[in-house]
Amino acid sequence: MARITVVGGTGYAGENIVREAAARGHQVTAVARSVPEAPVDGVTYVAADVLDAAALAGLTGDAEVVVGALSPRGALEGNVIGVMRTLAAAAQRAGARIGVVGGAGSLRVSPDGPTVASTAEFPDAFKAEAAEMAEVLAELRAADAELDWFYVSPAGGFGAWAPGEHTGTFRIGGDVLLTDEAGNSEISGADLAHAIVDEIERPAHRRQRFTVAY
């Protein structure tokens, strides 16, 4: 059993991670702006402002793994990079591992191809978000070698608008977008969480980014 703190634990990705980790018997703390009306059994919820760096650093507590599951939207636009810096620093001081749920925009369309975010098909509305999460990844890659981290890029079609099902069957890739025979890139929230908790339980991507898709 691991002590896991999920920052953004009531968002789409975060809630799925919290649910999967709790179901597997881990000790889970979910940090969010407010406590949900329907909390997951066995999970400790902490209401906090993630933009308060001092409070945020203290919330990692005795966690063995800290997962950042935040999107740079609304009040967090342009601020997720700072939140992740705070979490990474706190994790390193505590000897904990940090995981970040990023986006698909920084993945490449082929091994030598452009990033997904730089293609003509990528929506303008998400370019700033993709750029910020790419910066988070770049900072992790440049971080002190003592920082134990992983970064997860979901499939291109990942989102609350396409919740899908929990199949337990998926593919793991590296820096290239995974697509099926029809060119689709999809993963359900539950299966992304499954892959992330697998990584927590059996680390296979230390100081690496990986992607998950069907």
pLDDT in tens, 193-203: 999 999 999 99
Place of tokens 């992740």: 84
What is the pLDDT at residue 191? 98
- Sign of the Cα pseudo-torsion (105, 107, 112, 113, in order): negative
What is the pLDDT at residue 55? 87
Q: CB 52: neighbour CB atoms within 10 A?
A: 13
Q: What share of the chain in percent tops pLDDT 70?
A: 100
What is the pLDDT at residue 132? 98
**Tens digits of residue pLDDT in 114-131:** 999 999 999 999 999 999
Q: CB 16: neighbour CB atoms within 10 A?
A: 26
Do residues 38 and 94 make contact, with C-beta atoms less than 8 angstroms apart?
A: no
What is the pLDDT at residue 60? 81
What is the pLDDT at residue 129? 97
Q: Provide the CB-side half-sphere exposure for 53 (13 A, CA).
A: 11
Q: Which of 28-42, 46-60, 75-89, 165-179 has the lowest mean pLDDT?
A: 46-60
Cα Dmax for the chain? 47
pTM for the model stands at 0.97
* Mean predicted confidence (pLDDT) in 106-111: 98
Who contacts 125 (Cβ-Cβ below 8 Å, separation ≥6)?
Answer: none
Domain regions of the chain by residue span: 3-213
* Mean predicted confidence (pLDDT) in 48-61: 89
What is the pLDDT at residue 59? 84
What is the pLDDT at residue 212? 98
What is the pLDDT at residue 61? 77
How confident is the prediction for the chain on average, in pLDDT? 96
CATH code, 3-213: 3.40.50.720
* Mean predicted confidence (pLDDT) in 147-171: 97
